[in-house]
Structure formats: structure tokens, C-alpha cells
Amino acid sequence: MNRETKDFETKGGFKIVANAYITGREMRNIRDCYIGEADVNVNDFKKGNVPLTGIKGGVISKAEDISIEALIVSVNGSKEKVLEAVSDLPSDDYDEVVEYINTITSPKKEGSDTLTP
């Protein structure tokens, strides 16, 4: 499937090509990182109320890795080992890529200044 992409350059000059949206399958994989580590009441889950009391430290990194693999198409024109390429960027540039990813994976609720969980 060919998706619309967005090109941007980090402040450090790295050229990033990213998918403009995330698919339902990809989003489900990201959510599975968090939900897979939690005890969830099925009735609460069906209502959209999934209280999490804590998560394991590695879950956030794993979710970021899945997000990078799903959304980043290329770094400086290369489509090879994109996760490694993004992970090896200077921290500020890496943070810019993650910030873009977060705008796609955690869109703001309408009328809210906060991102959805």
C-alpha cells in the first residue's frame, strides 16, 4: 500500500520521510505494548476506560520502536535499517522525530489541549 508521506528536516539537518498517517493494524500493535503489560477488566476496556496503574520501563521504548518502524520511511534518503538510523541520530534530532510520531499516534482530542492517552 502506498501512503501519503510527509518530508521534514530536523534542526540538525537530517532529512526524514514519514508516513502521514498510521494504520489501524499499526496502532493496535502500539497499544498492545501497553495493554499487554497491564491487567485489564474486559468490561472497562469495552467502555474505553482502561485504568493503568503502572507500566514496565521498557514498554515505552518498545512502543517508540514500533512507531518508528511503522511511520518513518527513510532517513537521509535511505530506507535501510530505519529504526537504527533514527536511534543513532543526535538526541535533539531523535526527539524531533518522536515528536512528529506522537502527533500521529496520539492526536489531540477535539477541544482539548492535551493528547489522548
**pLDDT given at position 48:** 65
Q: Is residue 29 part of a domain?
A: yes
Per the structure, the complete domain to which residue 61 belongs is given by 5-105
In a domain, 19, yes or no: yes
Q: How many domains does the chain have?
A: 1
* pLDDT number for residue 114: 40
| Global pTM value | 0.76
Q: What is the pLDDT of residue 115?
A: 40
Q: Quick check: is 114 in a domain?
A: no
Distance CA 21, CA 100 (A): 11
Tens of pLDDT along 22-67? 999 999 898 887 776 666 666 666 666 666 566 666 788 888 999 9
Kindly state the average pLDDT of the residues 69-75.
96
34-43, 73-82, 84-93: segment of lowest average pLDDT = 34-43
Q: What pLDDT is attached to residue 105? A: 87
pLDDT at 53: 60
